[in-house]
Amino acid sequence: MLPRRAQRKRHGELGALSRLGSHRDRPAVLLDVPRALGKKWLPDGFAITSEVLDFTTDEGVQIYGGMGFSAEGPMDRAYRDARINRIFEGTNEINRILTLDMLLKRAMKGHIDLMTPAMAVQKELMAIPDFGASDDEGVFVKEKKVLTNLKKAGLMIAGAAVQKFMMKLSDEQEILMNLADMLIELYVAESTLLRVEKLIALRGEAACDIQKEIALVYLQEAVERAASAGRQAITSFADGDELRLMLLGLKRFTKIDPYNLKEARRKIADHVIQKGEYAF
């Protein structure tokens, strides 16, 4: 895929510059997701990795253009292999539902204390936000704060949903799917940050500049997707003052400093194109 992207010309430009949209670097970013997850597999881990395969295969077809479906190119076989995920599509959705369903049922049976931290988040919503600077040092200090807030957003919504539906929450599959999507984004973003942090400790920050960009790009995208999923969940069961308060809480807990994603994506893509192979 990479040699083809580097060699192909489109309107006089190298193929490396032919897809400057938001997906230009995303295959490189997403391909590192399974490695970031490591051995700590969840059902949602199977869902996200199979969807990464679908996405990267489709991007490969786009890169090869008219040759994308030709048996002379590598994407023909990859596309046929990836089609099995369409058959397994239901499994991904079932995995999403099962993850949250099992988690919430264990919480309601007292095996996991979900409500105590959820109530603490609700109490925090009524308090004045803490705008003080963190005393923590090291890489990803602000990013870890973002992850902590994403966890609070999930707890806020899950706690409110449990209080409203109790054991009938398993019938609210759309809400479970929204919460699962939030969990997936949090899990992958945190796993990626921790992996890059470990690499930096081993190799030094300068040697891990591209990996750091990957983590930051994914975190930005993860926050956006988690906020969207959270908004869908909240509006599906809350109304009135509760709706307004929860939406304000979601906005507060999904706040992240702006980051130049265009330049970061170009940097990642240029690195991969220069290497001519999967470089991570």
Q: Which residues are catalytic?
A: 89
Q: Are 154 and 186 in contact (CB under 8 A)?
A: yes
Q: Distance between CA 71 and CA 267 in Å, rounded?
A: 32
Q: Are 34 and 52 in contact (CB under 8 A)?
A: yes
Residue 62, number of CB atoms within 10 A of its CB: 14
Residue 76, number of CB atoms within 10 A of its CB: 16
DSSP count for the chain of H helices, then E strands? 13, 2
The single residue listed with the structure tokens 């992996």 is 195
Q: Which two tokens stand for residue 137?
A: 């040092």
Query: Residue 121: what residue type?
Result: V
Measuring CA to CA, how many Å separate 23 from each of 145, 187, 276?
26, 21, 18
Q: Are 61 and 145 in contact (CB under 8 A)?
A: no
Q: Give the residue from 190, 140, 154 showing the smallest Cα distance to 33.
A: 190
